[in-house]
Amino acid sequence: MAESEQVHNSSNEEEESPEQETSRSRRRRFKASNMSFVEMVEMVDILKRADYDGKYGPYTNPNERKAKIMIKVVKSLRWNFGVGQSKEQLRKRWSDLKLRQHNQYRRIKKVLLKSK
């Protein structure tokens, strides 16, 4: 009887392992959504203050530094606006603002200048 239980238990373990692998390998995915203007202003403000682009000095670990800054942006947006966006989505949005959406980037910079 004990042998049949062991065989039964080992077959259950084999069946459960693929389920565990899929749950471990899953990443938290955020649905891509449009950012409001106020959210973009918040993001740009944090990135500019923290010198995300590295204009003001040589840094020893720029990629690690950028990752920490982006975590601050994610937390700030989640705290202030309840928006869950990933670091990758925000990096793409920042790149789009600087390279493709010049008018909107200028408007954001004007708002930030007026607020100071």
Q: Which residue has the tokens 């708002």?
A: 111
User: 47 exposed, middle or buried (CB, 10 Å; 0-12, 13-18, 19+)?
Assistant: buried
- Within-domain flag for 108: yes
pLDDT at 15 over 70: no
* Residue 113: how many other CB atoms lie within 10 Å: 8
Q: Containing domain of residue 80, as a range?
A: 32-115
- Within-domain flag for 6: no
Question: How many helices and strands, by DSSP H and E, does the chain display?
Answer: 5, 0
**pLDDT at residue 17 in the model:** 47
pLDDT at 70 over 90: yes
Q: What is the pTM of this model?
A: 0.68
- Within-domain flag for 84: yes
User: 49 exposed, middle or buried (CB, 10 Å; 0-12, 13-18, 19+)?
Assistant: exposed
**pLDDT at residue 83 in the model:** 79
Domain count, the chain: 1
**pLDDT at residue 73 in the model:** 94
**pLDDT at residue 99 in the model:** 92
